[in-house]
Amino acid sequence: MLIDYHMHLQPDGVGERAAQAPGWDADGGHLSQAWMRRYVDRAAALGVDEIAFTEHDYRFSALVGWHASPFWNAEATADVDAYCEAVGDAQKAGLPVLLGIEADWLPDRVDDMRAFLAAHPFDVVLGSVHWVGEMSVDDPGDPPVGAHTAEEVWDGYLDQLIAAAGSGLFDVLAHPDLPKVFGDRMPQSLEHRFDDVIAAIARAGVAIECSSAGFRKPVGELYPSPALLARFREAGVPVTLASDAHRPADVAAGFSTAVAALRGAGYEHLTRFRGREPQPTPIRSWA
Ligand SMILES: [Zn+2]
Ligand SMILES: [Zn+2]
């Protein structure tokens, strides 16, 4: 089968959501079954059998103040219980959707995060290193990124990724080589450090995602790169497939290339989740 285990029901940012709101307002809101069905229909049209909604943790008011960033705190307005209930209702109505969340790795909030995740009936929890301390790795508007060399950003990021893998908080690590988003690929001098990252992820038994989102970013390639994907495969790290869509039109985008890369790396199985329990399933060929 094919899956898409990373998507959002709305775009990021107060202004962008206001601009896009007519799309879901006409359906009865972004938590309506009609709006979710647009994601399901798009997936089905591209041969994808099962999708997971994985809303950002920072969208929820329960997490206000967990990070000092003004962006984070402006975003934290939604009700997590309403989100869980809406996806649960869609499941009861027979839609092939999972309840997921994209949770940030915040090293000083490990216990809070563990309690938050345990308090909700998630099927799958993505772990994302979007922040290295105060620095946002993938926000083009955040000046601290420009104030650091690629080497500094990558070095700090890899430390955090190893810590996130070992935390036991997450089922899947999202976009594992994210700092390349604007085109700064991992410096050659840090190449060897990814061996430690892969070993830590393999030891923790966490999956990674193969994400097509990078095709829609300046870097223009998969997360992780095909060469890294092969190294994960060699280490026996399980994998999911992900678009990181923030609107129905991007569901399963670029999956023909992603599936070919998975096969090229030697992967024959994707990992499905249900109630946070992994289950390998053979990758169906791209039709
Ligand atoms: Zn992310
Ligand atoms: Zn995402």
User: What's the CA-to-centroid distance between 248 and ligand 2, angstroms?
Assistant: 14
Mean pLDDT of the chain: 95
What's the pLDDT at 162?
97
Ligand index nearest the alpha carbon of residue 175 = 1
Q: How far is Cα 212 from Cα 223, in angstroms, rounded to an integer? A: 7
Please name which of 102, 229, 236 lies closest in space to residue 173, comparing C-alpha atoms: 102
Distance (Å) from CA 210 to ligand 1 centroid: 13
Residue 121 amino acid letter:
P
The position carrying tokens 């307002």 is: 25
- Is residue 209 within 8 Å of 174, Cβ to Cβ? yes
The percentage of the chain sitting over the pLDDT mark of 90, rounded to a whole number, equals 86
Helix H or strand E segment including 53:
strand 50-56
Q: What is the pLDDT of residues 82-125, one digit of tens each?
A: 999 999 999 999 999 999 999 999 999 999 999 999 999 999 99
Rounded to an integer, what distance in angstroms lies between the CA atom of residue 286 and that of residue 9? 25
| pLDDT tens digit sequence for 209-236 | 999 999 999 999 999 999 999 999 999 9
Cα(223)–Cα(204) distance, integer angstroms: 20
What is the C-alpha to C-alpha distance for residues 129 and 218, in angstroms, rounded to an integer?
Answer: 19
In the predicted model, is pLDDT for residue 182 greater than 90?
no
Residue 70 has pLDDT above 60, yes or no: yes
Interval between CA 102 and ligand 1 midpoint (Å): 7
SS3 letters across 187-199: CHHHCCHHHHHHH
Extents of the domains making up the chain: 3-282
Say if residues 145 and 181 touch (Cβ distance below 8 Å). Answer: no
Confidence grade of residue 53 (pLDDT, cut at 50, 70, 90): very high
Question: What percent of the chain stands above pLDDT 70?
Answer: 97
Is residue 145's pLDDT more than 70?
A: no
Q: pLDDT per residue over 194-212, tens digit each?
A: 999 999 999 999 999 999 9
How many angstroms does the Cα of residue 93 sit away from the middle of ligand 2? 25
**pLDDT for the residue 287:** 59
- Tens digit of pLDDT for each residue in 254-265? 999 999 999 999
Going from the Cα of 231 to the center of ligand 2, the distance in angstroms, rounded, reads 23
Q: Confidence class of residue 286 from pLDDT cuts 50, 70 and 90?
A: low
Task: Tell me which residue of 222, 169, 235, 227 sits closest to 196, measured CA to CA.
Answer: 235
- Give just the sign of the alpha carbon dihedral 43, 29, 8, 92: negative
Rounded to the nearest angstrom, the distance between the alpha carbon of 148 and the centre of ligand 2 is 24
Confidence tier at 146 by pLDDT (50, 70, 90): low
In our burial notation (b when 16+ CB lie closer than 10 A, e otherwise), range 170-180 reads bbbbbbbbbbb
CA of 187 to the centre of ligand 2 (A): 25
Cα(175) to centroid of ligand 1, in Å?
A: 7
Q: Is the pLDDT of residue 143 over 60?
A: no
pLDDT value of position 139: 80
Q: For residue 174, how far is its CA from the centre of ligand 1 (angstroms)? A: 6
Class of domain 3-282: alpha beta
